[in-house]
Amino acid sequence: MKIAIIGPGLMEIPPKNWGAVESLIWDYSESLKQKNIEVDIINNSNLNAVANYLNSTNYDFIHVQYDDHAGPLSKLLNKPFCSTAHYGYIKENHSNYGGWDHIYQGFLKSPGIISLSPEITQLIKKSGYSGFIKTLRNGARTKDFKYSTIPTREALCLGKIEPRKRQADLSNICENKCMVDFVGPIIDNRFKENNTCKYGGIWSKPELYNNLTNYKCLILLSDGEAAPLVIPEALSAGLSLVVSETAAANLDRTLPFIHVLPNGCLNEFAITVIQKAILDNNKYRADIRKYAVDHFDWSVICDEYLDIVEEFINENRVSNNSNQQIH
């Protein structure tokens, strides 16, 4: 089987440091190749060039992994494809962000959609989409993450420090109450360190794989997320989770190491939940790691992905045969 994955064309793949979609595309490609699937990454923002190449090349499956490209490619490509949306506010009422409503309407013209969570799938169907749609969560290179049974630090907030992820607010409420390290590029100039909340710089990929397991708890209290990659990564390293409702996609909320707070919950109750997650982590750490390997390892994700790919190919083959019989 031969698959083409279409990237944004905004930075190199794999990315040197930060670039969630680019990292995801690379992980898909490398994991599928381990299953003897031929994969090409087409990472070019010139969509006319992308379409001309794809229209003249025989791929079994084309996957557009960038929201903005789906609408234009639905007009330029003469063959079926699936798209995935990664927009952080897709589940929220934030259509004014970056002209999202226009992008979303174009995205809905995709012949097929692979959605990142059941909630996003439901939203897309409510928007009137009646085409091929399946749900598949993001994965992690679970075995690449160092795993320690004796973490030395308490809580971590990992990701670009920006208003959407609420790190500035989290730092304020945690002052003198929780030890939290913040790692990632600083975009939000409201973010300040204090006695118990410290900035840890920007990690490289090797540092991510090595350092994550030093912590007991990951905190992600964003007010907008699709299916954040940092969640399965943290689980792979044995961390408990304290996440907002919007960041809790695809998680089993019955598990004692997963704590989901309402969006916007940055108060004393949140502090209590974070403290409990830190305190209880050691007794659940092995179970956390197993949960990650069983549910989020790329080998598991890619098996499910290939089932979706086969179903999409077969559905389009049947449709093409029916159209030929009509004509």
| pLDDT band for position 16 (cuts 50, 70, 90) | confident
Of the candidates 156, 142, 150, the residue with the CA atom closest to the CA atom of residue 242: 156
**Which residue would you say has higher pLDDT here, 89 or 300?**
300
Residue 326 has pLDDT above 90, yes or no: no
Residue with tokens 């290179």: 141
Strands 215-220 and 197-199: unpaired
Number of other CB atoms surrounding residue 307 within 10 Å: 12
Residue 86 has pLDDT above 60, yes or no: yes
- Which tens digits make up the pLDDT trace of 268-284? 999 999 999 999 999 99
Residue with tokens 């009422």: 93
Alpha carbons 67 and 163: distance in angstroms, whole number: 21
Furthest C-alpha separation in the chain = 74
| pLDDT score of 99 | 76
Residue with tokens 């093409």: 320
Cβ-contact 224, 91 below 8 angstroms? yes
Written as one letter, the residue type at 228 is: P
Tokens of 307: 């089932």
| Mean pLDDT, residues 239-255 | 97
| pLDDT band for position 72 (cuts 50, 70, 90) | very high
Q: 3-class DSSP state for residue 114? A: strand
| Mean pLDDT of all residues belonging to the chain | 94
**What residues have CB less than 8 Å from 69, skipping those under 6 apart?**
6, 8, 47, 50, 83
| pLDDT score of 18 | 75
| pLDDT band for position 55 (cuts 50, 70, 90) | very high
Tell me the CA distances in angstroms from 99 to 26, 126, 128, 214, 223, one per residue in order. Answer: 27, 20, 20, 40, 18
**What residues have CB less than 8 Å from 321, skipping those under 6 apart?**
none
- Which tens digits make up the pLDDT trace of 92-126? 755 545 678 889 999 999 999 999 999 999 999 99
| pLDDT score of 61 | 98
| pLDDT score of 321 | 58
Cβ-contact 216, 154 below 8 angstroms? yes
Global confidence as pTM: 0.94
Residue 322 has pLDDT above 80, yes or no: no
| Mean pLDDT, residues 246-273 | 97
Tell me the CA distances in angstroms from 66 to 87, 218, 267, one per residue in order. Answer: 9, 27, 35
Residue with tokens 């077969």: 314
- Can you say whether the dihedral through the CA atoms of 249, 209, 206, 300 is positive or negative? negative
